[in-house]
């Protein structure tokens, strides 16, 4: 594929991409499967100590005593960090200087805000000594009654939801739309709290050298982390070096540096020695964010022909008692269906938990399963096939803004996935299909959508005297293969074969690549790489086309093509010269280009930007026991330009599995008496295992969206959840005739319904 690069000066040039679009395997795959990939906790600097957090076992109150002396008597314990004995900070950790500065618990008082909050840190020569020392602290508490659940207090209207979204949005006349409806669906759904617990827990190895700080820690945003740590410790961000080459998953929880990581830095400051701190599995449930529970009431009006007349989507969410993050669940209803009247609104309740934060598809996951279930209810009320109903009502433009987006690709997603799944001939009425064993069979559909987000990132490109290239950017790879995809973009941006490129990433001393979140990292950093490569090639082209000795001399008006380490005249491909020859004759060791990737404000003001998809699911339900088994899933997704089909397929599978988990498995169970999570472990916090995941198929629909960014990239990390959860839930209804409105769907609700 040929990319046209517009320059502000001649010579113009184009690059022929041969790496983008190839299903390359992971460049870091061998390191990972052989155990040679070094994650944060694998680092052991000389003289390193181990720090272990002592966590609160109450959700609200105060710590009245800690047996610090007993802990210090334990052999190997070096020190115990408490509110009374800690390094002073330069900035109040409760200060909020920007929308991403969430409050941290850094031993500033004896107050307990939630269960699993850090109340002390024991530092020792060995992990065992630190762990045993923490157990010896024997904390005592003044306990207050914990506020738990969606009815824990008086609800209020939050100032914003998500990051700066309005809490209420109105489009059209809701009352008139409801009055005009001949059919009205009015349903209330609840989704549970969910906790991300990545394969690699939050960890840090911190080393102080005077006022310089060296950190190994998993990070989805090293630039954000630098700024936050710099403020807390009163040092320059330039004095902080963060190394984060490998992440064992993040799901949003590593987008911002967390309190436990900062406690590791404080412990190193206190002792004057390197310190390692790693959270235990159970400690992940609290201080590093989660998806909050929601209660959502959705009303949908339709006319006699099955066309939407109004959607009113209201969500109640929880936030912590001490900070503000509001899951934008109802916002899912802004972008999919062409209703003349739409209202979304949020209210919030403060509870005694850690602050909920970004968790894969925040808002879209919680809102879409409700929207897709309610759309299914509306279709059934109208006596229309759920696919037909969606095709009748899906939006050609974003309903609440009127901005056009590439929604035509969604029709292709519906058609291709439906054909592959075999949707035609599906009986409208539930409980009509059984398999050879007598199990009830149900088919469901869910529409997928996710915004095409871009942040801001930077990259540096170099073409060296030997004709090879280097691309540098402080990008983040959470395991999804970002480094491989970004290296493919890098090679094409420099007109090089993949093996002629050195790609450098994962360190804060490289150009800041922004944050890896919102499914926007590849688009953001890819655009920065694209622009950096263009700038380097432009400098190289100038050297050649202005040199009378070059066969490319005078090609400024015609332009040149960069391909396989050579520049070719665009109007005469036979006239070419290698990068090495151009640099050698000019006596230049290398040429450098820098680039920035960011959203185009003008394009965003004119166009709505989303990826789309459609997911079809089959489930089988035991009519006597109510056991549910997902047996097939097919998803088709239009997500812009695909950089690496292999990686994209893997990401979409992961999203579909998480959607299945949302519908059938995942739930944090809270003890309403104590405010503690009862299943804060990976044994009782249920997620799908291999036996739970059905055969899946992913179809990628070709889509060229010229407005989202120069490369036409949209994210794929989160969109798979948004259609899949609803598809599975709707399939359960189609199998059983029972519409379960509390997720995850549990056996007991089906058993009681099937027994009637």
Helix H, strand E, coil C: the string for 217-255 is: CCCCCHHHHHHHHHHHHCCCHHHEEEECCCCCCCCCCCC
Which SS3 state, helix, strand or coil, does residue 91 take? coil
Give the model confidence (pLDDT) of 699-744 as tens digits. 999 999 999 999 999 999 999 999 999 999 999 999 999 999 999 9
Whether pLDDT at 17 is above 60: no
Q: Which two tokens stand for residue 288?
A: 């590093």
Whether pLDDT at 5 is above 80: no
C-alpha–C-alpha distance, residues 544 and 552, integer Å: 6
Q: Which of 714, 659, 161 is nearest to 368 (CA)?
A: 659
| Cα→Cα distances 456→7, 461, 529, 745, Å | 21, 17, 12, 40
C-alpha–C-alpha distance, residues 495 and 562, integer Å: 5
Catalytic, 88? Answer no
C-alpha–C-alpha distance, residues 172 and 190, integer Å: 27
Q: Report the b/e string of 71-93 with b at 16+ CB within 10 A.
A: beebebbbbbbbeeebeebeeeb
Give the model confidence (pLDDT) of 224-267 as tens digits. 999 999 999 999 999 999 999 999 999 999 999 999 999 999 99
Give the model confidence (pLDDT) of 28-42 as tens digits. 999 999 999 999 999
Share of residues in the chain with pLDDT > 90 (%): 94
Selecting among 398, 542, 703, 718, the annotated active-site residue is: 718
Burial of 111 (0-12, 13-18, 19+ CB in 10 A): middle
C-alpha–C-alpha distance, residues 270 and 278, integer Å: 18
C-alpha–C-alpha distance, residues 223 and 659, integer Å: 31
Q: Which of 545, 697, 701, 564 is nearest to 618 (CA)?
A: 697
* 635, 473 contact by CB (below 8 A): no
| CB-CB neighbours of 243 under 10 Å | 19
Angle between helices 364-382 and 386-393 (to 10 degrees): 110
Which SS3 state, helix, strand or coil, does residue 270 take? helix
C-alpha–C-alpha distance, residues 541 and 554, integer Å: 11
Tell me the CB-side half-sphere exposure of residue 280, using CA atoms within 13 A: 16
C-alpha–C-alpha distance, residues 539 and 39, integer Å: 38
Give the model confidence (pLDDT) of 263-312 as tens digits. 999 999 999 999 999 999 999 999 999 999 999 999 999 999 999 999 99
Phi-psi region for residue 140, left (φ > 0), alpha (ψ -120 to 50) or beta? beta
Q: Which of 350, 277, 297 is nearest to 54 (CA)?
A: 277
Q: Which of 286, 294, 238, 291 is nearest to 260 (CA)?
A: 286
Burial of 197 (0-12, 13-18, 19+ CB in 10 A): buried
pLDDT of 491 reads 96
pLDDT of 9 reads 29
C-alpha–C-alpha distance, residues 553 and 569, integer Å: 9
pLDDT of 15 reads 42
Chain-centre distance of CA 171, in angstroms?
29
Q: Report the b/e string of 411-428 with b at 16+ CB within 10 A.
A: bbbbbbbbeebebeebee
pLDDT of 460 reads 98
Give the model confidence (pLDDT) of 481-537 as tens digits. 999 999 999 999 999 999 999 999 999 999 999 999 999 999 999 999 999 999 999
pLDDT of 187 reads 98
Rg (CA), the chain: 28
Is the previous residue joined to 744 through a cis bond, with omega within 30 degrees of 0?
A: yes
Q: Which two tokens stand for residue 525?
A: 């950093």
Chain-centre distance of CA 154, in angstroms?
31
Q: Report the run of H or E that residue 573 belongs to, with start and end.
A: strand 572-578
Which SS3 state, helix, strand or coil, does residue 458 take? strand
Q: Which two tokens stand for residue 591?
A: 């040429």
Pairing of strands 240-243, 212-216: parallel
Paired with 315 in beta bridges are 296, 346
Average pLDDT rounded to a whole number, residues 79-108: 95
Pairing of strands 275-278, 342-351: unpaired
pLDDT of 3 reads 26
pLDDT of 18 reads 74
- What is the residue-averaged pLDDT of the chain? 95
Alpha helix (H) ranges present in 394-443? Answer: 408-421
Across the beta sheet with 140-143, what order do the strands follow?
111-112, 61-65, 140-143
Give the model confidence (pLDDT) of 660-691 as tens digits. 999 999 999 999 999 999 999 999 999 999 99
Binning pLDDT at 50, 70 and 90, where does residue 98 land? confident
pLDDT of 753 reads 84
Give the model confidence (pLDDT) of 326-367 as tens digits. 999 999 999 999 999 999 999 999 999 999 999 999 999 999
C-alpha–C-alpha distance, residues 592 and 595, integer Å: 10
pLDDT of 555 reads 87
Tell how many helices (H) and how many strands (E) occur in the chain: 16, 31
Paired with 208 in beta bridges are 213
């Amino acid at each position: 594929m040929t990319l046209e690069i517009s320059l502000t000066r001649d010579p113009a040039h184009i690059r022929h991409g041969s790496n983008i679009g190839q299903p390359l395997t992971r460049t870091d795959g061998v390191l990972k499967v052989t155990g040679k990939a070094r994650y944060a906790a694998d680092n052991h600097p000389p003289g390193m100590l181990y720090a272990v957090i002592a966590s609160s076992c109450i959700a609200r109150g105060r710590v009245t005593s800690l047996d610090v002396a007993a802990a210090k008597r334990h052999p190997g314990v070096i020190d115990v960090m408490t509110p009374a004995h800690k390094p002073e900070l330069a900035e109040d950790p409760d200060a909020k200087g920007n929308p991403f500065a969430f409050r941290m618990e850094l031993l500033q008082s004896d107050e307990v805000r939630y269960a699993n909050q850090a109340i002390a840190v024991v530092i020792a020569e060995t992990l065992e000594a630190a762990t045993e020392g923490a157990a010896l602290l024997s904390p005592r508490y003044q306990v207050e009654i914990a506020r738990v659940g969606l009815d824990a207090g008086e609800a209020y209207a939050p100032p914003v939801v998500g990051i700066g979204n309005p809490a209420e949005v109105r489009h059209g006349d809701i009352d008139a739309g409801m009055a005009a409806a001949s059919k009205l669906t009015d349903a209330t759904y609840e989704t549970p709290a969910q906790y991300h617990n990545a394969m690699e827990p939050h960890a840090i190895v911190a080393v102080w050298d005077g006022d310089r700080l060296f950190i190994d820690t998993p990070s989805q945003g090293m630039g954000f982390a630098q700024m936050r740590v710099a403020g807390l410790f009163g040092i320059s961000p330039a004095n902080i070096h963060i190394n984060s080459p490998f992440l064992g998953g993040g799901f949003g929880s590593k987008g911002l540096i967390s309190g436990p990581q900062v406690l590791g830095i404080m412990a190193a400051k206190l002792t004057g020695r390197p310190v390692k701190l790693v959270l235990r599995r159970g400690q992940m449930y609290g201080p590093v964010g989660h998806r909050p529970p929601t209660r959502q009431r959705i009303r949908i009006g339709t006319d006699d022909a099955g066309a939407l007349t109004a959607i009113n989507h209201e969500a109640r969410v929880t936030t912590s008692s001490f900070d503000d993050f509001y899951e934008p669940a109802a916002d899912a209803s802004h972008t999919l269906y062409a209703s003349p009247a739409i209202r979304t609104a949020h209210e919030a309740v403060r509870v005694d938990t850690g602050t909920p934060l970004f968790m894969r598809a925040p808002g879209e996951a919680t809102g879409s399963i409700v929207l897709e279930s309610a759309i299914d209810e509306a279709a059934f009320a109208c006596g229309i096939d759920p696919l037909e109903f969606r095709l009748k009502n899906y939006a050609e433009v974003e309903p609440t803004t009127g901005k056009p987006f590439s929604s035509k690709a969604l029709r292709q997603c519906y058609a291709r996935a439906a054909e592959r799944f075999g949707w035609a001939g599906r009986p409208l009425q539930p409980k009509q299909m059984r398999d050879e064993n007598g199990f009830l069979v149900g088919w469901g559909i869910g529409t997928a959508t996710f915004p095409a987000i871009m942040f801001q990132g930077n990259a540096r490109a170099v073409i060296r005297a030997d004709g090879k290239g280097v691309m540098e950017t402080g990008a983040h790879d959470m395991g999804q293969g970002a480094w491989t995809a970004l290296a493919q973009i890098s090679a094409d941006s420099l007109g090089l074969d993949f093996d002629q490129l050195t790609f450098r990433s994962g360190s804060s001393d490289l150009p800041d690549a922004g944050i890896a979140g919102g499914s926007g990292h590849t688009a953001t950093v890819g655009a920065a790489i694209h622009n950096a490569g263009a700038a380097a090639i432009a400098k190289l082209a100038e050297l050649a086309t202005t040199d009378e000795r070059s066969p490319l001399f005078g090609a400024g008006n015609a332009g040149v093509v960069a391909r396989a380490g050579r520049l070719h005249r665009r109007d005469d491909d036979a006239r070419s010269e290698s990068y090495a020859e151009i640099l050698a004759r000019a006596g230049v060791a290398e040429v450098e280009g820098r680039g920035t990737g960011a959203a185009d404000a003008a394009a965003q003001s004119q166009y709505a930007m989303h990826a789309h998809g459609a997911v079809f699911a089959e489930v089988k339900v035991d009519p006597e026991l109510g056991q549910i088994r997902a047996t097939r899933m097919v998803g088709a997704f239009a997500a812009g330009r695909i950089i690496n089909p292999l990686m994209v397929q893997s990401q979409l599978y992961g999203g579909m599995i998480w959607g299945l988990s949302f519908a059938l498995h995942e739930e944090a169970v809270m003890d309403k008496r104590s405010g503690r999570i009862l299943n804060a472990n990976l044994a009782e916090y249920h997620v799908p295992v291999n036996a739970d995941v059905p055969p899946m198929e992913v179809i990628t629909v070709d889509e060229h969206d010229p407005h989202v960014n120069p490369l036409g990239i949209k994210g794929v990390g989160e969109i798979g959840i948004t259609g899949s959860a609803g598809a599975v839930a709707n399939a359960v209804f189609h199998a059983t005739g029972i519409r379960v409105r509390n997720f995850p769907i549990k056996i007991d609700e089906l058993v009681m319904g099937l027994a009637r």
